[in-house]
Structure 1
């Protein structure tokens, strides 16, 4: 793949946009894989029509939605999930409610596969959003749109800016829901974390942001290249099973007065990792006001004077570092613009 060397990160030599080739299959296993695909595809189609065409639009209880989504995940072969939360020992997830996203909080998730939003919906039932690289506001989308977004070409600007809202207003208008953000703005192959959108900066300073990383084994179910619906479905449904690994980091705040990266690092050095838990943030110190004074940004509207400030960049860096640490990968300098250029070269040479 030396012909795509210009799309490797100069510091790490990671190529986050190259698709992961499937493992070679022997002639003996080919009929079995084809049989699995043909057996599963009717169930996947039926459950998808049931959920996205009927249940999602009806005022049914969350239990029914969870059941159908987990049945859909089970049919696709995602049977085994390794779930871990920072600061919580294995086997004690049930006692880790304080460390998990809940209503009124934000999930900042990695984005590598259509399975990402499907799994997050099956666990948290969040409101999904789409981020753009140069905007502090986000676009609210449905679960189906989030899934299809994994196959869509990247976009630098929205088609309709009137649909954009700040995370602060979205949280305020939906106090009983979790908000999910994909701050990388586009999918990768899971081998690097792209620079994050400033959309996370439109959240209020006291809103908890949970970095979440999802990884798959084998990795050929990632969709760094747009299109390829049929081939992706075959790779997903023809394999007996897929392993999913989910990691959730400790909460981050969009405020230097509550939980800045500098403060967290100092505490980590002095008293250990568990000391980074802020059960009762001191809002009297001006969680929102400090950000406004430092950046000139109104956290309610998301309007800002100038570019991302140093303090704001620390917040984005902290989330990106957590995503990279959870995924055991590195941050890269390539962004959504580089992916657009990559796709032009990739599709041209494929033709």
Structure 2
């Protein structure tokens, strides 16, 4: 078996996707030439503007927001407002002019009945596939959540900042944690009690190229499907592209972002599971399956992605191999 390729499906979820074939017409060739010439200039301008917005974000949200810590509701409102405005501006500057959102039902019994979305509250758990640092920027702009890190040898999670979450995309998954950890249930209850917002759990533990799903880490073992807690929100991210995919799995992150900004526009589609259809919801049928298995099945259903037998251990091995190859090239 090739390193990083799933034996059952033949899918390689870690390599950057190959651009789709296009007609070699004069107009397409001219467009490519314009992109090669104008793209880098555009990227430099965009990155300068994004850097300015990022500094404003750090001042307004992180610095001034920390002064409001004693008044939790006011801090939540302040940070939520400026996260929405400034981080959505960052996405806009990066070429995501319009982000399509869709609420999906996976129940055949619903037929043509109205599909409702579910309100996301503090302490709720957002579970989604993980394909890029753009996923994180979207979630931060939309929900101002608590981000988490998953470890290979542990069924608990660590709270990380927005910047740490962005940097985790494409990094080698870690094995042994050294910081304060929570079970997902503990963190959910604490976030609800303190008004921290929802928590985000990328249960795959590592990014993919959006072609398939990795096995979920065992971080939902404390939950039972018959608890009827109604706190899980299942989402899926998909990117449409012509030249370069916004998904990020390997390589230099800044260079990837530079190439992303050099594109004239980028497309993100976000799908959410309809109200009452996620595990532990008040309307979900009773089942004996583990909540983690139900969640990955739900993500697969709304994303139309196949589950592989690969995990973040395989991503770790793939990145270790990739980095060793890159080091050998530099030493030659």
Query: Relative to structure 1, is the Cα distance of residues 7 and 79 closer, same or farther in structure 2, using a 3 angstrom cutoff?
Result: same
Deviation per residue, 1:170-189 (Å, 9 max, x gap)? 22222132111110011111
- What residue number does 1:277 align with? none
User: 7, 13, 22: which is aligned to 1:10?
Assistant: 7
Given that 2:47 and 2:258 are in contact with CA atoms closer than 8 Å, whether structure 1 keeps it comes out as no
- What residue number does 1:195 align with? 215
- What residue number does 1:152 align with? 171
2:311 is the alignment partner of 1:335? yes
Q: Secondary structure, in 3 states, of the residue corresponding to 2:90?
A: helix
Given that 2:132 and 2:248 are in contact with CA atoms closer than 8 Å, whether structure 1 keeps it comes out as yes
User: 169, 176, 180: which is aligned to 2:186?
Assistant: 169
Given that 1:133 and 1:198 are in contact with CA atoms closer than 8 Å, whether structure 2 keeps it comes out as no
1:68: how far off? Answer: 0.9
Q: Secondary structure, in 3 states, of the residue corresponding to 1:56?
A: helix
User: 233, 238, 241: which is aligned to 1:210?
Assistant: 233
Cα distance in 1 between the residues matched to 2:236 and 2:321 = 29
Deviation per residue, 1:241-297 (Å, 9 max, x gap)? 111110111453359x984674xxxxxxxxxxxxxxxxxxxxxxxxxxxxxxxxxxx
Q: Secondary structure, in 3 states, of the residue corresponding to 1:222?
A: coil
- What residue number does 1:47 align with? 53
Q: Secondary structure, in 3 states, of the residue corresponding to 1:200?
A: coil
Cα distance in 2 between the residues matched to 1:28 and 1:64 = 35
Deviation per residue, 1:288-316 (Å, 9 max, x gap)? xxxxxxxxxxxxxxxxxxxxxxx4x6321
Q: Secondary structure, in 3 states, of the residue corresponding to 2:234?
A: strand
User: Which stretch has the larger CA shift, 32-41 or 50-59?
Assistant: 50-59
Normalising by structure 1, what TM-score? 0.75
CA RMSD of aligned residues (A): 2.8
Gaps of at least 5 residues in structure 2 are 22-30, 66-74
- What residue number does 1:307 align with? none
Deviation per residue, 1:9-30 (Å, 9 max, x gap)? 1111110111224579833321
Higher relative contact order (CA 8 A, sep 6+): 2
- What residue number does 1:244 align with? 268
- What residue number does 2:245 align with? 220
Given that 1:136 and 1:202 are in contact with CA atoms closer than 8 Å, whether structure 2 keeps it comes out as no
Cα distance in 1 between the residues matched to 2:81 and 2:320 = 44
Q: Secondary structure, in 3 states, of the residue corresponding to 2:159?
A: strand
Gaps of at least 5 residues in structure 1 are 263-310
What is the aligned length? 291
Cα distance in 2 between the residues matched to 1:124 and 1:80 = 17
Greater share of residues in helix: 1
1:43: how far off? Answer: 0.6
- What residue number does 1:271 align with? none
Normalising by structure 2, what TM-score? 0.79
Cα distance in 2 between the residues matched to 1:259 and 1:134 = 31
Query: Relative to structure 1, is the Cα distance of residues 324 and 236 closer, same or farther in structure 2, using a 3 angstrom cutoff?
Result: same
1:235: how far off? Answer: 1.8
- What residue number does 1:135 align with? 154
Query: Relative to structure 1, is the Cα distance of residues 137 and 348 closer, same or farther in structure 2, using a 3 angstrom cutoff?
Result: closer
Cα distance in 2 between the residues matched to 1:7 and 1:169 = 33
